[in-house]
Structure 1
Amino acid sequence: MDRLFQIDVVVSGVLVLLTILTGRIVWNITLSPLARQRIPGPAAAVATELWYQWHGVRMDRTMAIDKLFKTYGPVVRIGPNRVAFIDSEAVHKLHRLLPFNKAEFLTKMTFGGGPNTASTSDPTLHAKFRRWHAPALRGVRLRETAVILVQQMEDLISRLTADGSQAGGIDVLHLMNLHTLDMLGLALFDAKFDQVKTGRELPFVKDSADWLLDFLTRTSLPPAIYGMLKLIPLKRLREIFSADDSICQFAAKLYDETPDKPTGSENINMIAAGKWYRDPVTGEAPTKQEVISDMGIFLVAGTDTNAIALTFACYHLARQPRLYENLRDELRSANMLDNPYEIDVLRELPYLNAFVKEVLRSHSPAGLFERVVPKGGIVLAGYTLPEGTVVGASAYTSGLREDLFPDAKTVNPERWLMNVNGMWIQRHDIPLDEMNAACHPFSLGLRACPGRPLAEIETVLTITTVVRNFRVRLHESTTEDSMSPVDLGVIPPKAHRCLLHFELNPL
């Protein structure tokens, strides 16, 4: 009898759980305030968070959401409480006009547990972050950075000359990770890492990749499962879960090497800007942990995203020789022999800048920028969304809209430009405003990437360096399939490498 009673209790418990689960699924699909809006989307995604979490674990969430847009249209429900948009007006409101809060996964984008520009939901703290590192990202500092980076370009030429013609090719994704970290060190921290010059990789490069894996795991799995994973005594897992500590130690060393007192110069790096900043109301300085956490997000985001963009740029130079030749012709006609790295001139070259724009449009390094609907709810794209709904704008899919960009996966600067008497000028037969609105790889509004001006300088200088000095060819292992995207929070090629050959060919 006791055994039968125990079985009855277990069966009853299971039935209760199934009833609760069924009720929750019915609520999510048909009865919740969001469900009553009848936003299109697959039942598997709408019923529970499992669809969203599963595609996070599979590292294809951005691409899976892209498929939903192609099936259901510009607004799609991707979870019980999640809606994604590529509707331009909705994206504009989401990022520019309304006080949306940051989604939970962004609040976990911390280093050492401390808040930073990307993670904080506190508008006052966010404004403080932006104010203190602004001097390192504009004006005098950026002009000096463009000059300082010239030596880094010379180091890149030397490295590509030495290694680029080898039979096995050179892994451009790995090289660009070293190159972007070198540039970031010079530009933001006055630090010479010299990885490209010496061929010696800093531990940070591996730590950064491991941190992204940890972040992906932490934000995709239920906390209990993530906690159990951290208890497994495997060396590789411990390396991944200790990456945050390693990055904080790396940043702390740079912090400690920076003077505590102002020098009087307007040209100050990001660490000095943080150390010397004083709140205009309270007079308080940022804490060391705040500065280190903000350094962490710039180090990780500023190296990985730009390295991916530069990798795809080199890939398309090899895949489409016409792009390479047009860029060479434009650089040749610019008559920059005395100073081939004059950034003010390079920024005005139409074809070069359209090429950069096309690479970022067709290979957005980031996927879904998510926010949370504020108190009182809001109407977006004709749907009334209750407060607390997680809403996202997909930079990845927006840039691949076939209605705006026919043959969208092809990098084609001439969708923006036309050649008149040997000069590239803006086309007037295209929906330019709509096309520009659909291109937002750096996000939009006050919470857009603050490092965008620096990233653009780094990108233009690096592409110019490659085009002026080398002919790029595909390695046999580098194919359309190997370069297809994978979602790690950033979106690198699936093969996690890009082998190319570089033949010296000075302009």
Structure 2
Amino acid sequence: MILLTLLIGAVVFSIILIIQHVHRYKQWSKVTAKITSFEPWHPIWGNLHLVNDMADFFKLVLVMVEKTKAKLLCGWVMFLYPVFSTCHPDTAKILLKSSEPKVKYNLGGVYRMILPWLGDGLLLSDGKKWERNRRLLTPAFHFDILRPYVQIYNDVANIFLEKVQKACDSKEAIEIYSHVSLATLDTMLRCSLSYTGQVQEKGDSHPYVQAVRRLGSLSVQRTLSPWLYPDVLFWLSPSGREYKRLIDYVHEFADEIIASRRKALTEKDINKTAGKRLDFLDILITAKDENGEGLNDQDIRAEVDTFLFEGHDTTASAISWAIYCLAKYPEEQEKVYQEVTSVLDSRPQVSWEDLNQLKYTSMFLKEVLRMHSPVPFISRWLTKPLVLDGVEIPAHFQVDILIHAINHHPDVWPDHMEFRPSRFENETRQERDPYTYIPFSAGSRNCIGQNFAVNEEKVMISALVKRFKVELVEGHVYEEYPEVVMRAKYGIKIKVTQR
């Protein structure tokens, strides 16, 4: 009798859930009918059958944007729920100017997939916690802190160039993306944690680089696999077990560095150490808010994990695609080379004062970031209804901001497939909406480390062109592969000759 009662109760409960979902489905369908949607639509898969990965998704998006000039797109995750995407400055800036949080808890949200890895740091936190931590970490990116990093950029670039020199001497092609990733990780570890572990010398065998690369892939794969949305199913799956093993490693890697620094700080107060350069971790450990409270161990690790990932992976993407563009557009490479040699004269390294003098190099890098967006998309979670392009999107929905699509929207960039750095000349005199170009996001949650990243990119590219001429490798396929960052599906191979 008890079993029968439970069975009846379960059936009734299931029927209620189905009726509720059908009711919501009808409401959502009325909303999505007003928005440009992906086609064809499947009654079971929704639009998931159209894409195998994020590369397929962005190809579909760019075709639709070119064809329809849409500012807002909609797609369905199976028959479960719709996902909305802004692909134009007019719709993106409404979200970016709002205080809507990141998508941490929605079942299919990509940020939920990386939360166990990066924790509740600046990238994912919101509300009072985000405001407090942003305020505490801002001093870590003051000009006085950034200035001495230029020498570290140069030191890291020298090691990187020695690897390129070997390829030059042997007249063999070199896959540059993997080497750049090691260099930017080396930079982040040295600048933010004062850690020197021969990252570049150890090569691609360094487990941290491999772990971060794989964690990003697993996170995106999960967003496209609704059957892995429930945590219990994900952690039991092969990819979930691999994910757990990798995050255990990256957390242990960070914890060891943090523990070592805490011990050093108890032995000798860094504030009393004459001439000591404060790095990111020093500031994390010693920072206090207005109530005299600092960050706890979990907060510190979340910020370290966030900055190690964001600081090396996105910058590696930017530098790698910049090298690709140097090779693909030799006339642009020559302009960058002429400027670098003119500014540096006979000096071997870039100085802090040189950075602002590299004006054409800055324009070149901005066009690289537009053409090959290092962060292809970001997301927000609606806590209340929001009107986008004349359509009211209900609360409790994910809305993606497709930065890569905005950078290629024909309304904003009519010649978007043409690589032309001069479009960023005299930016202050142009009437372009600032939200048309958001490689580092925009609004209050813009990237806190953007000056750090741009300075590093300038030094690396300047060092490379000053010493080598780069060319593409005939027959190699150069293809964008968007994941959490914009990667190259088959790597970026180049040939180099000595200048």
TM range (shorter): 0.7 to 0.9
Counterpart-to-counterpart distance in 2, 1:493 and 1:100: 32
| Cα displacement (A) at 1:85 | 1.6
> Is this contact kept in 1: 2:369–2:439, CA < 8 A?
yes
Q: Are 1:393 and 2:388 an aligned pair?
A: no
Counterpart-to-counterpart distance in 2, 1:270 and 1:353: 25
Match of 2:279 among 269, 280, 288: 269
Counterpart-to-counterpart distance in 1, 2:42 and 2:390: 19
Q: Which residue of 2 aligns with 1:182?
A: 186
SS in 2 for 1:141: helix
- TM-score, scaled relative to structure 1: 0.83
Q: Per-residue CA shift, 1:251-300, capped at 9, x if unaligned?
A: 1111112134441168422222221122323x332121221122112112
Q: How does 1:244-323 map onto structure 2 within 5 Å?
A: 244-258=247-261, 259-261=264-266, 262-264=269-271, 267-281=277-291, 283-323=292-332
> Is this contact kept in 2: 1:109–1:118, CA < 8 A?
no
Counterpart-to-counterpart distance in 2, 1:312 and 1:335: 24
Q: Are 1:366 and 2:366 an aligned pair?
A: no
Counterpart-to-counterpart distance in 2, 1:32 and 1:198: 53
Q: Per-residue CA shift, 1:68-123, capped at 9, x if unaligned?
A: 33344122223344322233232222112x221212332443345731111223x1
5+ residue gaps in structure 1? 1-8, 418-424
Name the amino acid aligned to 1:489.
V
Name the amino acid aligned to 1:322.
E
Q: Which residue of 2 aligns with 1:422?
A: none
Q: Which residue of 2 aligns with 1:3?
A: none
Counterpart-to-counterpart distance in 2, 1:454 and 1:372: 28
| Cα displacement (A) at 1:133 | 2.5
SS in 2 for 1:409: coil
Counterpart-to-counterpart distance in 1, 2:399 and 2:204: 42
Q: Are 1:85 and 2:86 an aligned pair?
A: yes
Match of 2:485 among 471, 478, 490: 490
SS in 2 for 1:77: strand
> Is this contact kept in 2: 1:363–1:396, CA < 8 A?
yes
Name the amino acid aligned to 2:99.
P
Q: Per-residue CA shift, 1:33-88, capped at 9, x if unaligned?
A: 86277122136569777535973646533333333333441222233443222332
Q: Per-residue CA shift, 1:406-447, capped at 9, x if unaligned?
A: 432332212334xxxxxxx6697xx5423x431111111121
- TM-score, scaled relative to structure 2: 0.84
Counterpart-to-counterpart distance in 2, 1:95 and 1:267: 35
| Cα displacement (A) at 1:351 | 1.2
> Is this contact kept in 2: 1:211–1:241, CA < 8 A?
no
Per mean C-alpha deviation after superposition, the further-off stretch among 210-219 and 440-449 is: 210-219
> CA 1:502/1:227 → structure 2, altered by over 3 Å: closer, same or farther?
farther
SS in 2 for 1:178: helix
What is the identity percentage for the equivalent residue pairs of Structure 1 and Structure 2? 19
> CA 1:125/1:183 → structure 2, altered by over 3 Å: closer, same or farther?
same
Name the amino acid aligned to 2:398.
V
Name the amino acid aligned to 1:109.
I
> CA 1:499/1:339 → structure 2, altered by over 3 Å: closer, same or farther?
closer
Match of 1:381 among 369, 389, 393: 389
Q: How does 1:408-423 map onto structure 2 within 5 Å?
A: 408-417=416-425
> CA 1:335/1:289 → structure 2, altered by over 3 Å: closer, same or farther?
closer
SS in 2 for 1:109: helix
> Is this contact kept in 1: 2:376–2:404, CA < 8 A?
yes
Counterpart-to-counterpart distance in 2, 1:257 and 1:447: 31
| Cα displacement (A) at 1:145 | 0.8
Q: Which residue of 1 aligns with 2:236?
A: 231
> CA 1:142/1:493 → structure 2, altered by over 3 Å: closer, same or farther?
same
Q: Which residue of 1 aligns with 2:65?
A: 69
SS in 2 for 1:110: helix
| Cα displacement (A) at 1:187 | 1.5
Q: Per-residue CA shift, 1:140-167, capped at 9, x if unaligned?
A: 2101111232222222222211234535
> Is this contact kept in 2: 1:302–1:451, CA < 8 A?
yes
> Is this contact kept in 2: 1:248–1:292, CA < 8 A?
yes
> Is this contact kept in 2: 1:165–1:501, CA < 8 A?
no
> Is this contact kept in 2: 1:190–1:269, CA < 8 A?
yes
Match of 2:443 among 438, 442, 445: 445
Q: Per-residue CA shift, 1:368-411, capped at 9, x if unaligned?
A: 22112233x22233222222232222110111123433432332
Q: Which residue of 1 aligns with 2:3?
A: none
Q: Which residue of 2 aligns with 1:42?
A: 38
SS in 1 for 2:36: coil
> Is this contact kept in 2: 1:153–1:462, CA < 8 A?
yes
Per mean C-alpha deviation after superposition, the further-off stretch among 306-315 and 328-337 is: 328-337
> Is this contact kept in 1: 2:254–2:301, CA < 8 A?
yes
> CA 1:407/1:110 → structure 2, altered by over 3 Å: closer, same or farther?
same
> CA 1:477/1:26 → structure 2, altered by over 3 Å: closer, same or farther?
farther
